Structure 1
Amino acid sequence: MALLKRSEVEPHEDYGFFGPGSVVWKVWSYPTSLTVGFQRSVVVEELDPPLVAAVHGTQGIYRRPRTRYDRTLRYFAMVAFAGSREVCRAADVLVKVHSKAVGRLPYGEGTYDANDPASQLWIQLTGWHSILYAYEKYGPGKLTAEEEREYWQACATAAEFQTCSPDDVPRDREGVRAYFERMRPRLSASPIARQAMTHLLRADLVLPPAPLWARPASLVVARALRIATVATMPRWMRELAGIRQSRALDLLIVPVMKASFALAHLSPRIELLLLARQSPSTVAVVAPMKLGIAPRREEVLTPAEARARHGFTKPAEAHLDLRARQMTRVLDDGLAPSEQGLMESQDTLGPLA
C-alpha cells in the first residue's frame, strides 16, 4: 500500500471536541493507543456478563472479526479526532446498531441491552483506561497530574456520545480505581467470556491476509501484540479468565514494544500505513491530525453545542421507539431483532463486509 499523500486527505469540518494541544490528542495519537490499548479494552470488556451476552448474541466478532474490529476502532478514533457533525452522527447511528443487541442472559436470570447505561459506562471506562495504561507502559510514560485531570474530564465529555451519564465518569485515577473495584465482584469469566477474550487476543484475525513471504513476520507481530496486551492485565484478571503468561514475558515485552512504538512514531506516514493494515476505515479519521491538515473551521465545540448545531438528540434519549420495538420483538415475540440500524451504519462506521 502506497504512502498517503496530503492531497488525498479530506479535512474535517472542525476540530470536534478536543483538538491540537489537548491531552486526548497527545495520548490517543501515540501508536500504543489504537493497537495494544484498544486490544486490551475489547478483551477486558468481555468480563462484564451483560456486555459479553450482547457480543455473543450478535456473533459479530466471530462472523466478521476484521470488519467488526475496524468499525469499532473507527468509532473510538472519531470521538477523539473527527469533526463534531461526524461524531454526533456516529453516536446516533450506534444507538440504532446497539438496539439489536438485546436478549436474555445465557447465565443466570435477567436480560441484557447493549444500550444500557451501565454497560456503556463499562465500555467507556475500560476503553479510556486501557488507552492511557498502554501509553504509560509502552509509550512516553505517565501524564502530569494536571494532564491526568484533563484526560478524565475529556473522558466524561466523550461519555456524552454514549447512553451513560457523564456525571458517572470519575475525574481522577483514584475514582477510576474505585469504579473498577466496585465492578470486580460483578465480573465473570463465563465460557462465552473466555471464548471471546481468547478470540480477541488473536491480532492475526484482524490483519489482512499477508503474502506467503510476509506471513512469518505477520505472525510475529500478532504474537508480540498478544504478549503486550496480556502483560497489561492484572494477575487476578488473567487467573479469572484462564489466561496464562509468564512474568518473564511480561518484563521482556516492555523494551521491545517501547522501542517499536517510538520508532513508528517518528513518521506520521508510516503510522498511517501501519494503521491501514489494521483498520482501513480509521485512516481517514486520523490522517488530518497526523498530517497537520487544519479543518475547515478551526474550532472546538462542546457536545451540547454540536447537538444544537447539527440537530441530534442525546444518545440516551435517541431512538426510544426503535429500542422498544426491538425489545418487544426479541423478548416478547421470540423473533430475531431488526437489522435496520446495522444496515444504516455502513455509511458512517464503515462496511460490514
Structure 2
Amino acid sequence: MSGPTVTEDRDGFFGPDSVTWRIHGDPSFSVGGIRALLLQALHPVAMGGVHRFSDGFRDEPWARLTRTAEYVATLTFGTRREALRAVRRVRGAHRGKSDTEPTTGRAYSVDDPDLLLWVHACEVDSLLSVARRSGMQLTQDDADRYVREQVVAAELVGCTPGTVPTTVAELAAYFRRVRPQLALTEPARLAARFVLVPPMPGWVQVLTPARPAWAGLASLGLATLPRWARSMYGLPGLALTEPATTAAVRAFRTTALAVPPRIRENPTLRAARLRVA
C-alpha cells in the first residue's frame, strides 16, 4: 500500500474543507471541550482509569489539559505524519495499563475499545452540540458529516472499526444504550470539582482574571450538558433555562470572535492555514 500523497499529507486527515476544521477552529470548541470532560467522567470504568493512571490529572492538571488540547489540535490540523506521531504517543501511553474498577467490579485495560469509544462519543457529541447552540451555521447534513469524519479519529486511537457512530442519530442511539452503565462515582466528583474549580497559584488568582474567566467558561460547559447528565450531577435545571444557556453560549462566541485571530486561534490552526494556502 503506497503512502499518502503530498497533498493528503499536507491537508492531514480532514483538510480545510472539512466540517471538522470549522468546528475545531471555532471559539465554541472551548466550551464543548469542558462539556466533554464532564460527560466523560460519568462512565465509572473510563473515569476509574483516568483516576488510577493519570497522576498528571491530580498533580499537574493544567499540563494534562494542555496535552489533551494539543493532541486534538494536531490530529485535526496537523499533517498526516504529525497526526500519526501524536496517535502513537497516546496509544503508547495507554498500553499495558489495567486494573479493576471497584464500584462495578470490572477488570479493564485503559485501551479497551469500548472505553475509547465512550471518550470519543462524548467529545464528538459535546463539540457538535455546543457548536450548533453557539450559532454556527451547520445544517443537518453538516452535522452528520462531522460525526462521519470523526470516525477516522476514533479508529486511529483504537476503537473497533464498524462500532463507531457515523450519524447524529447513531450517536444519540449510542448514548441511550450506554446510559444504564453511567454513575457519579467519587473519582467523577473529584474530576468535576477540578474542571469547575481548578487549582490555581495564588498570584494568578489575585493578579489576573483567570479565576472568574474560567468560572464563566466552566459554568457554560456544565449548563450545556444534556438534562440527564446534569441530573446525575444533582443540577438538572441549574439557574439557567435552556434558552438562556443557548443565549449565553452565543454571546460567548460573538465576544470571542471579536478578538483578533492571531490571539484567539490555536497556533496549530494558524500554521495549518499557512501550510495549505
Q: Same fold (TM over 0.5)?
A: yes
Partner of 1:210: 204
Query: Could you tell me how far apart the structure 2 residues matched to 1:245 and 1:68 are?
Result: 30
Query: Could you tell me how far apart the structure 2 residues matched to 1:91 and 1:21 are?
Result: 22
The one-character-per-residue Cα deviations of 1:185-209 (angstroms, maximum 9, x if unpaired) are 011111222221222233x548996
Task: Between the two structures, name the one with larger relative contact order (CA 8 Å, sep ≥ 6).
Answer: 1
CA RMSD across the alignment: 2.4
1:241 aligns with 2:222: no
Query: Could you tell me how far apart the structure 1 residues matched to 2:51 and 2:155 are?
Result: 26
Gap change, CA 1:237 and 1:191, over 3 Å in 2: same
**Contact in 2 for aligned 1:48/1:188 (Cα 8 Å):** yes
Partner of 2:251: 259
Q: Choose which of 92, 98, 101 in structure 2 pairs with 1:96.
A: 92
**Contact in 2 for aligned 1:43/1:201 (Cα 8 Å):** no
1:269 aligns with 2:262: yes
**Contact in 2 for aligned 1:227/1:249 (Cα 8 Å):** no
Query: Could you tell me how far apart the structure 2 residues matched to 1:238 and 1:228 are?
Result: 12
Partner of 1:160: 155
Partner of 1:288: 271
Gap change, CA 1:236 and 1:253, over 3 Å in 2: closer
The one-character-per-residue Cα deviations of 1:298-343 (angstroms, maximum 9, x if unpaired) are 8xxxxxxxxxxxxxxxxxxxxxxxxxxxxxxxxxxxxxxxxxxxxx
**Contact in 2 for aligned 1:156/1:167 (Cα 8 Å):** no
1:17 aligns with 2:13: yes
The amino acid across from 2:270 in the alignment is: A
Query: Could you tell me how far apart the structure 2 residues matched to 1:205 and 1:155 are?
Result: 32
1:223 aligns with 2:215: yes
Query: Could you tell me how far apart the structure 2 residues matched to 1:124 and 1:16 are?
Result: 19
Gap change, CA 1:43 and 1:270, over 3 Å in 2: same
Partner of 1:65: 61
Query: Could you tell me how far apart the structure 2 residues matched to 1:169 and 1:13 are?
Result: 24
The amino acid across from 1:172 in the alignment is: T
Query: Could you tell me how far apart the structure 2 residues matched to 1:109 and 1:39 are?
Result: 28
Query: How far apart are 1:175 and its partner, in Å?
Result: 0.8
Query: Could you tell me how far apart the structure 1 residues matched to 2:201 and 2:163 are?
Result: 35
Query: How far apart are 1:212 and its partner, in Å?
Result: 3.4
The one-character-per-residue Cα deviations of 1:145-200 (angstroms, maximum 9, x if unpaired) are 32123212101122121111242112211111100000000111112222212222
**What SS is found at the alignment partner of 1:248?**
coil
Query: Could you tell me how far apart the structure 1 residues matched to 2:155 and 2:200 are?
Result: 29
Q: Choose which of 172, 179, 182 in structure 2 pairs with 1:177.
A: 172
Bigger radius of gyration, 1 or 2? 1
Question: What is the TM-score of this pair, normalised by structure 1?
Answer: 0.70
Query: How far apart are 1:232 and its partner, in Å?
Result: 1.0
Query: Could you tell me how far apart the structure 2 residues matched to 1:211 and 1:38 are?
Result: 22
Partner of 2:3: none
The amino acid across from 1:128 in the alignment is: V
Moved more, 259-268 or 128-137: 259-268
Query: Could you tell me how far apart the structure 2 residues matched to 1:21 and 1:207 are?
Result: 41
* Percent pairwise identity: 27
The amino acid across from 1:29 in the alignment is: G
**Contact in 1 for aligned 2:77/2:268 (Cα 8 Å):** yes
**What SS is found at the alignment partner of 1:294?**
helix
Partner of 1:32: 28
Q: Choose which of 102, 105, 120 in structure 2 pairs with 1:106.
A: 102
Query: Could you tell me how far apart the structure 2 residues matched to 1:90 and 1:107 are?
Result: 32
The amino acid across from 1:268 in the alignment is: P
The one-character-per-residue Cα deviations of 1:55-95 (angstroms, maximum 9, x if unpaired) are 11023211110000000111111111111011111111111
Query: How far apart are 1:243 and its partner, in Å?
Result: 4.0
Query: Could you tell me how far apart the structure 1 residues matched to 2:122 and 2:28 are?
Result: 15
Gap change, CA 1:93 and 1:206, over 3 Å in 2: farther
The amino acid across from 2:25 in the alignment is: S
**What SS is found at the alignment partner of 2:108?**
strand
